[in-house]
Structure 1
Amino acid sequence: MIIRYERNGKIKHGWMVEDENKVRVIEGDIYKVQSAKPIMTGLELPLGDVNLLAPSAPSKVVCIGVNYRDHAEEMGFELPVEPLMFLKPSTTVVGPEEPIVYPKLTENLHYEGELAVIIKKEAKRVKAADAEEYILGFTCAIDVTARDLQMKDGQWTRGKSFDTFCPLGPAIAAKVDYQNLRIVTRVNGEIRQDSNTNQMVFTVPQLVEAVSAVMTLLPGDVILTGTPPGVGALQVGDEISVTIEGIGTLRTRVEAETEA
């Protein structure tokens, strides 16, 4: 699986071999598929010698609301007739083990475990039938929300956009059956969400088509595909993880906001 890491002040991509606890170093830009293709250098590093970062550094994160049938049923919502889109800025993105900061402006912080799609190349007006050509792979995500602000504002930008509100990782799985993956969110070891991507209202290819019809997706951009039932509150000190079968586990924790 593809990772993005920092070592000795340099940021690179690598291929994580988790069962062997090592990283195979990749040189070159993994998004330049037509020229200057990345190469496997043959160099290997112990996994413990690198600092894992968010596996992508997107220009934007496009999120989809109410996209799981079981979540819609839980909330008493009608199924949407087209994808419900909103955005998170790139400044929300953090990597594995980087903390979620609980802002002082909110009193009701919520988690939403999600499957994230990583875009491989520029995508504009892509048809669902061709969507897989534009997908680099998939990773785990947490859509963090200041729920009180979201409800107060009547729109979602402020409540979804605080720094650290989009943990991603730990790695990008290039080939998984994204239509049938178990997704589990745990808070302090307790299962809070447990569902399957087969509950999605709109499939991944349909989402790529819908989003790229509105905006151009750039290499590294992220689509969050919606959350299963069981969303709930987070407190300072909580440890949260999202595990998606075939991808791995994204772990983080909640810390209080400190004075700048």
Structure 2
Amino acid sequence: MLKRYTRIQQEGKTYYGLLNQDGTVQILEGNSPENFRETKVIVKDFKQLSIPCAPSKIVGTGLNYKDVVLKPGESLPAKPKLFIKPPTALIGDGDQVMQPPMVKDLSCEVELAVVIGKKCKCVPEGEAENYIWGYTVANDMTASDLQAEDTLWGRAKSFDTFLPVGSVIVSGIDPSQLELCSKINGKPGQKGNTKDLIKGVYWLVSYISHVMTLLPGDMIITGTPSGYGIKVKPGDCMEMEIQRLGKISNKVAAVETPYYF
């Protein structure tokens, strides 16, 4: 059964809830999918929070689509490359991606984000679905020049605001055949389908859980299809859309505060 989870504030308190078709929210008791309990409380007047959960970490996945066009010198790894994005990279739909002076070459990527629903360690692939809360849209921003400079991806992926995500977590859907696309200033960018993932969602959850303990609210971004690395600059508007999950729109702006590196 499809459900749409969100976080709201009402009367100074933060709640998780189920977003209804009419725009109202059914309040949930609890602070995690592990202990959610549906109530009969329906609210109309509330502030929807732009980030639908509170991850301890975001695990990124690189080079994980069959249709990816490799850059000179690149090859597909036997297993997807993993990297970590900090929670401070998260922003919501409509928020600005801030390009700091250190970054001269900024790019964006549409990705399916998997949100973990319960503590997950060394889980078999066949059981991984039981540990997933749901899915949302993500835009994996990258400082492409720093990525090339460092070889490692940590700095290039980790700046504040470098991960716009959707405000709703959708559960009860099959993640194996979802269309993804992006537009930059209204012009088509990337287009793909999760059927072309080299390593699927359940494999990724299992594999990553053998590396680190995944906690409720943690996110896995699953890679990006062909056409990745689309360059953007301050003033550009990025739209990322995934079938059944909706779309997010974010503009790029320049950081005006001093940087010393």
Calculate the TM-score normalised by the size of structure 1: 0.92
Distance apart, 1:55 and its partner CA: 1.3
Distance apart, 1:254 and its partner CA: 1.1
Q: Which secondary structure state, in structure 1, belongs to the residue aligned with residue 235 of structure 2?
A: coil
Misfit runs of 4+, over 6 Å: none
Partner of 2:163: 166
Distance verdict in 2 for CA 1:41–1:75, change over 3 Å: farther
CA displacement 1:66-91 (0-9 Å, x = unmatched): 001111x3546433211211111111
Are 1:83 and 1:210, in contact at CA under 8 Å, matched by a contact in 2? no
Partner of 1:43: 42
Distance apart, 1:153 and its partner CA: 1.1
Distance apart, 1:141 and its partner CA: 0.4
Gaps of 5+ in 2: none
Query: Matched residues in 2 for 1:133 and 1:9: separation?
Result: 33
Choose from 99, 103, 108 the match for 2:96: 99
Partner of 1:210: 207
Are 2:65 and 2:224, in contact at CA under 8 Å, matched by a contact in 1? yes
State the AA in 1 paired with 2:44: L
Q: Which secondary structure state, in structure 1, belongs to the residue aligned with residue 130 of structure 2?
A: helix
Please report the RMSD computed on the Cα atoms of aligned residues, expressed in angstroms.
1.6
Choose from 15, 27, 30 the match for 1:28: 30
Distance apart, 1:52 and its partner CA: 2.9
Distance apart, 1:64 and its partner CA: 0.4
Partner of 2:185: 188
State the AA in 1 paired with 2:13: K
Share of identical aligned residues, percent? 37
State the AA in 2 paired with 1:5: I
Q: Does 1:87 align with 2:84?
A: yes
Greater helix fraction, Structure 1 or Structure 2: 1
Q: Which secondary structure state, in structure 1, belongs to the residue aligned with residue 67 of structure 2?
A: helix
Query: Matched residues in 2 for 1:58 and 1:139: separation?
Result: 13
Choose from 6, 11, 15 the match for 2:9: 6
State the AA in 1 paired with 2:30: G
Query: Matched residues in 2 for 1:152 and 1:9: separation?
Result: 45
Count of matched residue positions in the alignment of Structure 1 and Structure 2: 253
Distance apart, 1:96 and its partner CA: 1.7
Are 2:138 and 2:240, in contact at CA under 8 Å, matched by a contact in 1? yes
Are 1:79 and 1:201, in contact at CA under 8 Å, matched by a contact in 2? no
Choose from 248, 251, 254 the match for 1:250: 248
Q: Which secondary structure state, in structure 2, belongs to the residue aligned with residue 20 of structure 1?
A: coil
Are 1:125 and 1:212, in contact at CA under 8 Å, matched by a contact in 2? yes
Q: Which secondary structure state, in structure 2, belongs to the residue aligned with residue 208 of structure 1?
A: helix
More moved, 22-31 vs 247-256: 22-31
Calculate the TM-score normalised by the size of structure 2: 0.91
Gaps of 5+ in 1: none
Query: Matched residues in 2 for 1:109 and 1:198: separation?
Result: 28
Partner of 2:66: 69
State the AA in 2 paired with 1:15: L
Query: Matched residues in 1 for 2:12 and 2:96: separation?
Result: 21
Query: Matched residues in 2 for 1:255 and 1:26: separation?
Result: 36
Are 2:26 and 2:38, in contact at CA under 8 Å, matched by a contact in 1? no
Query: Matched residues in 2 for 1:11 and 1:147: separation?
Result: 37
